[in-house]
Amino acid sequence: MFYREAGDFKTRYVDDSQTFPIRFDRWRYYAVLAVAFGIVPFLINDYWANAVFVPFLIYSIAAIGLNILTGYCGQVSLGTGGFMAVGAYACYKLMTAFPEVSILIHVLLAGGVTALVGVLFGLPSLRIKGFYLAVATLAAQFFLVWLFNKVPWFYNYSASGQINAPERTIFGQAVTGAATTPAAKYLFCLVILFALAWLARNLTRGTIGRKWMAIRDMDIAAEIIGVNPLTTKLSAFAVSSFFIGVAGALFFAVYLGAAEVGEAFGIQKSFLVLFMVIIGGLGSIFGSFAGAAFLVLMPVLLKNLLVGTLGWPTDLAAHIELMIVGGLIVLFLIVEPHGLAQLWRLAKEKLRLWPFPH
Amino acid sequence: MNVMTPEGYVAADGRRIGPVLMEMKNITLRFGGVKAITDISFEIREGEIRAIIGPNGAGKSSMLNVISGFYVPQEGEVWFRGAKRPPMKPYQVARQGIARTFQNIALFDGMSVLDNIMTGRLTLMRSGLLSQAIWWGGAEKEETAHREKVEKIIDFLEIQNIRKTPVGRLPYGLKKRVELARALAAEPKLLLLDEPMAGMNVEEKEDMCRFILDVNDEFGTTIALIEHDMGVVMDLSDRVVVMDYGKKIGDGTPDEVRSNPDVINAYLGVAHE
């Protein structure tokens, strides 16, 4: 009954184009923010941080990044894992080379480095489209993983070939390294996610977002009405790679602490993030969150259900869990090909009229 | 038509038509061995409604594609606003002030009507990537200013009620209207319409005619259009180019063209002995 546009008159275009035009939506959004910033940090423990919240936040950043490229600009990419690796290794090199500089700056710079690499691998998109572009980005994925494996400079010649995040602090609180509290990890990722999601929303609702969508929907018409395909596609690659690079840096520095490139950033990472974007909904910021939540939470839920409640052996549960998640993905794509975001949109349209049928 | 001078002429309905806006000089366009356009010259004057007609496959759409920069002719020159146009990409041509609509609608299906029309103003928007990311200040102000202009066009074309509807859900006639709105949003000097009335019923055609005349009248936009409905062409246009098999076979006012024997041959056929 509260979910209504009626009676909420907009008298300025600014009000009309805001992110949550319906008052109820706005309250809900503030409530989520209040819980996320004000309540969760005080309740969070190691298990919740490592199994649920931190991976959810980091994958959300990566999914928003890939959604900008694939969902908004229509350029399919299978190089997400490789670009996350670029972010992680750039962050590692910066952390070890300039230990006195804030980790926050390192993470953002790592995103910047990834943006440059992304633009480089985005160049073929000017000539090739669709599946062929996907194969070209797949080449980026394999090349980057190979590069970080083969060139010892990237992992500072360590004997194991691994990279390890040294301890870094913000306001005296450790956010990387073994001594980090779960709340610090969570808050660090949350602040970055909040800022980046806000930037993504601004970009996608403005001129540049419309250019991306124009290229996605009909590239020839877009060019004829004045969209430069070169700069538009490359800007999508740059922004997308920036997000993915930041996600990679956080994944290594905050979440894993130590990483080996083939294991942490292999092809399965590319597919995982792509699944998140497709299941969540292409071309939707909310969809990126929903997809990340679905694919991070679902295995945890299933594991708790199968092992914790039903008492099945761990290895059997692990296999069944994979099958169920896979089955759910297929089921989802059949039932709602436009993803969770579309379900959400339909629910909202129904809610606006509820409880009346018309 | 009154006497044609370099400064223009007075149209049949008394409108003053200005000097030459765009001139095509000896355009030849080939696809491999096929000549789509052979040595065609004509000009479009400021404030004019200029029609290009001809049977199917005559090269009308190719001609429009040459004007909008999508095809580059092998021979000939394109002059726009008194200067020879160097070879350009389509998006550069758009920035010169040439907008167009398409024969089979080319709207962005995933976006709302409002967003589609806003894309028409891309060439006029200036804020950079960073200011858009921050949004507050520059980008928001620019967005609002352009939104105001777009709302005027929405009012003008009477599509207020579908503003927020995704374009994919609209019926055909409205899509055509939204496409016209998108082209108008660019505030073009020259507006190219590729079969604006194809597939419409009589009522929709009448609406579209009214909009075309109003656009020409209120904004002073020069219009070049391709159309198959002869009644519409003869009523709307000031001058008509007739093409057949890639060649120009007639050029003049509707009355002149109608009585041109070559044009009658092309459309009705000629008796063979």
Query: Tens digit of pLDDT for each residue in A233-257?
Result: 999 999 999 999 999 999 999 999 9
B144 at A interface, C-beta within 8 A = yes
Mean pLDDT of B240-257: 91
pLDDT of residue A179: 83
A17 at B interface, C-beta within 8 A = yes
| Whole-number Å distance between alpha carbons of B1 and B238 | 8
Q: How confident is the model at residue B272 (pLDDT cuts 50, 70, 90)?
A: low
The answer to whether B94 contacts A225, with C-beta atoms less than 8 Å apart, is: yes
Residue of A nearest to B149 (CA): A13
> Where do the domains of chain B lie?
1-97+188-267, 110-186
Q: How confident is the model at residue A17 (pLDDT cuts 50, 70, 90)?
A: confident
Of A202, A210, A228, the CB nearest to B119: A210
Chain B stretch 110-139, residues whose beta carbon is closer than 8 A to a beta carbon of chain A: 110-111, 115, 118-120, 122-123, 125, 127, 129, 132-135, 139
Report chain B residues whose CB lies below 8 A from the CB of A203.
129, 132-133
Q: Which of A13-17, A249-253, B45-49 has the lowest mean pLDDT?
A: A13-17
**Tens-digit pLDDT profile for residues A43-75:** 998 888 998 999 999 999 999 999 999 999 999
Mean pLDDT of A99-109: 94
A4 at B interface, C-beta within 8 A = no
pLDDT of residue A66: 97
pLDDT of residue A134: 92
pLDDT of residue A13: 82
**Tens-digit pLDDT profile for residues A76-91:** 999 999 999 999 999 9
| Whole-number Å distance between alpha carbons of B10 and B81 | 20
Residue A277 pLDDT greater than 60, yes or no: yes
Residue A211 pLDDT greater than 90, yes or no: yes
pLDDT of residue A353: 80
pLDDT of residue B1: 52
Q: How confident is the model at residue A26 (pLDDT cuts 50, 70, 90)?
A: confident
pLDDT of residue A89: 96
The answer to whether B102 contacts A221, with C-beta atoms less than 8 Å apart, is: yes
pLDDT of residue B207: 92
The answer to whether A208 contacts B118, with C-beta atoms less than 8 Å apart, is: no
Residue A204 pLDDT greater than 80, yes or no: yes
Mean pLDDT of A266-286: 93
Residue B91 pLDDT greater than 70, yes or no: yes
Decide which of A20 and A261 is more confident.
Answer: A261
Phi then psi for A313, rounded to 5 degrees?
A: -60, 145
Q: Report which of A291, A102, A261, A273 is spatially closest to residue A192, judged by C-alpha positions.
A: A102
Q: How confident is the model at residue B57 (pLDDT cuts 50, 70, 90)?
A: confident
A202 at B interface, C-beta within 8 A = yes
Report chain A residues whose CB lies below 8 A from the CB of B101.
none
Report chain B residues whose CB lies below 8 A from the CB of A225.
91, 94, 99, 119-120, 122-123, 182-183, 186
Q: How confident is the model at residue B265 (pLDDT cuts 50, 70, 90)?
A: confident
Q: Could you tell me the two tokens for B221?
A: 């936009």
Proportion of chain A above pLDDT 70, given as a percent:
99
**Tens-digit pLDDT profile for residues B174-188:** 999 999 999 999 999
DSSP one-letter code for B11 = -
User: What b-and-e string marks burial along A95-110, b requiring 16 or more CB atoms within 10 Å of the CB?
Assistant: beeeeeeebeebbbbb
Decide which of B66 and A333 is more confident.
Answer: B66
Report chain B residues whose CB lies below 8 A from the CB of A216.
108, 110
B186 at A interface, C-beta within 8 A = yes
Q: Could you tell me the two tokens for A236?
A: 């999508």
- Tell me how many degrees the CA angle B37-B43-B45 measures, rounded to the nearest 5: 145
Residue B203 pLDDT greater than 80, yes or no: yes
3-state secondary structure A84-136: HHHHHHHHHHHHHHCCCCCHHHHHHHHHHHHHHHHHHHHHHHHCCCHHHHHHH
**Tens-digit pLDDT profile for residues B23-38:** 999 999 999 888 999 9
> Mean pLDDT score of chain A, rounded to an integer?
90
Give the ipTM.
Answer: 0.89
B187 at A interface, C-beta within 8 A = no
Residue A1 pLDDT greater than 60, yes or no: no
pLDDT of residue A2: 64
Mean pLDDT of A266-282: 93
Mean pLDDT of A307-334: 86
Tell me the sheet residues that pair with B24.
Answer: B42, B78
DSSP of A148-197, one letter per residue? HHH-GGGGTT-TTS-EEPPPEEETTEEEESTT--HHHHHHHHHHHHHHHH
pLDDT of residue A32: 93
Mean pLDDT of B263-273: 75
Q: How confident is the model at residue B150 (pLDDT cuts 50, 70, 90)?
A: very high
DSSP of B22-86, one letter per residue? EEEEEEEEEETTEEEEEEEEEEEETT-EEEEE-STTSSHHHHHHHHTTSS--SEEEEEETTEEPP
Which CATH architecture fits B1-97+188-267? 3-Layer(aba) Sandwich (3.40)
**Tens-digit pLDDT profile for residues B121-139:** 988 888 888 888 888 888 8
Q: How confident is the model at residue A182 (pLDDT cuts 50, 70, 90)?
A: very high
Residue of A nearest to B147 (CA): A13
* Alpha-helical segments (H) within chain A: 13-16, 23-34, 40-43, 46-48, 54-66, 80-97, 103-122, 130-150, 182-205, 207-217, 219-224, 229-250, 261-264, 267-280, 285-303, 314-335, 339-353
pLDDT of residue B77: 92
pLDDT of residue B251: 92
**Tens-digit pLDDT profile for residues A221-232:** 999 999 999 999
Report chain B residues whose CB lies below 8 A from the CB of A115.
none
Q: Which of A352-356, B221-225, B238-242 has the lowest mean pLDDT?
A: A352-356
Residue A334 pLDDT greater than 90, yes or no: no
Residue A325 pLDDT greater than 70, yes or no: yes
